[in-house]
Amino acid sequence: MLMALGLPLPKQVFGHPWLLQSDGKMSKSRGNVLYADDMVDLFGVDAVRYFLLHEMPFENDGVVSWELMIERVNSDLANTLGNLVNRTISMSNKYFNGVVTRTGVVEEVDDDLKRVVGDTRLRVNICMDKLRVADAMTEIWNLFKRCNKYIDETMPWVLAKEEGKQPRLNEVLYNLVESITIGASLLESFLPETSERILKQLNTEKRSVTELGQFGLYPTGNKVTDDPEILFARIDMKEMLDEIEKRFPSVKEEETEAKKEAEKKKEAAKKEAERKEPAKVEAVQKALLSIDDFDKMQLQIGEVMSCEEVPNSKKLLCSQVKVAGRTLQIVSGIKSYYMPEDMVGKKVVVITNLKPAKLAGIVSEGMLLCAEDDEGRLALLTADKDIPAGSMIS
């Protein structure tokens, strides 16, 4: 199609790895599916963005869980980033009424901070050129971690108490505000809402790509907000997991209850049928078949390895049936009489040499044989002894 339109052909086709739960692949039947909408309702869009981008390496499967999500919010978003922004703004307000001034009173410790901030833009670009989004996020967070270390190294609370150290304290807070501004600008592509909230509190604008390579563009004498907001609140693990369990009951529990209910109905129907007079079956005699015609059909014993409902169908089940050294996919209209989990392990009679046909858009490679009474009820033909799958019927 692209060639017909005269458009260039793609040189690369991208696909992301699996998102795994801590105990393996996500599956409704296992009750371990996490939905993005549910996570957003509890944690917010940017928190989920960070979690998924950070936990999804380019070349490996990513592992997700409620517990890991909470840990990331607390350690990376609330502590490393949120606490940094809040401390910097609070100290600016406490010591200088929010006014951020560049005094030029520098020390050797400033050089390493500026080096890390300057290198981060280059490192992020390299990571993104290689499509390593998780690594790019890590580089930005390394910048924020370096800012937190800078606070510990310079100890603004000590400078505030020492006579004649006000200019140095001004410079320290300026370096922090400038570094956070650059970090928040880099963050805009990944967490747009968080980036905007940080820059708004610092009373500044997002830097352009060119400006990100220059340290010291924050206007001296500018004033940060006097009412800093919490970017990400810490989450109590136990309370949140309890809330999650209330909101989203385990799918396993739901399916167990549904199965119990289905079993009750099945048992009730069985008892009702036993009370009634057995149905009379009047078989219609078809034309006689020669032994040669019968020999054209290949009948074998098959073992049902797995079975599931066919989407958007009220009657069909799709079974994977092992026959000797191969597995056939067989679609059959027995959903009203058998639950998928009850099919697994059954030894059934299969016609194995039918031409493949599509049923409800799914290819069926054989036929399960059933008996049918006058009321249309079906019963699978099964082996009454443990005979190997693939055994011929003659």
Question: Which domain CATH number covers 350?
Answer: 2.40.50.140
CATH of the domain at 62: 1.10.730.10
For residue 286, is it within any domain? no
For residue 323, is it within any domain? yes
For residue 282, is it within any domain? no
For residue 31, is it within any domain? yes
Tell me the pLDDT band of 168, cut-offs 50, 70 and 90.
Answer: very high
For residue 255, is it within any domain? no
Residue 33 reports pLDDT greater than 70: yes
54 and 202 together in one domain: yes
Q: Are strands 317-323 and 24-25 parallel, antiparallel or unpaired?
A: unpaired
Query: What is the average pLDDT value for the chain, to the nearest integer?
Result: 87
38 and 104 together in one domain: yes
Tell me what the mean pLDDT of segment 302-331 comes to. 90
For residue 4, is it within any domain? no
For residue 244, is it within any domain? no
* 168/174 Cα distance (integer angstroms): 10
Domain that holds residue 111: 19-238
Residue 376 reports pLDDT greater than 90: no
Tell me the pLDDT band of 256, cut-offs 50, 70 and 90.
Answer: low
Dihedral sign for Cα 116, 119, 123, 124, please.
positive
106 and 214 together in one domain: yes
Tell me the pLDDT band of 112, cut-offs 50, 70 and 90.
Answer: very high
319 and 214 together in one domain: no
> What was the pLDDT predicted at 157?
96
* 161/220 Cα distance (integer angstroms): 23
217 and 299 together in one domain: no
How many C-beta atoms surround the C-beta of residue 26 within 10 A? 16
Domain count, the chain: 2
Tell me what the mean pLDDT of segment 388-392 comes to. 88
155 and 234 together in one domain: yes
The residue length of the chain stands at: 394
87 and 215 together in one domain: yes
For residue 348, is it within any domain? yes
* 206/218 Cα distance (integer angstroms): 11
What are the phi and psi torsion angles at 188 (to 5°)? Answer: -60, -35
Among 100, 302, 128, 129, residue whose Cα is nearest residue 219: 100
- Report the amino acid identity of residue 277: E
Residue 89 reports pLDDT greater than 60: yes
Residue 90 reports pLDDT greater than 90: yes
Q: Are strands 19-21 and 62-64 parallel, antiparallel or unpaired?
A: parallel
Tell me what the mean pLDDT of segment 315-331 comes to. 91
> What was the pLDDT predicted at 312?
84
* 172/228 Cα distance (integer angstroms): 19
* 299/303 Cα distance (integer angstroms): 13
Q: Rounded to a whole number, what is the distance in angstroms from the first to the last CA of the chain? A: 51
306 and 231 together in one domain: no
Of 141-145, 173-177, 208-212, 250-254, which gets the smallest average pLDDT? 250-254
Q: Could you tell me which residue, 391 or 222, shows the higher pLDDT?
A: 222
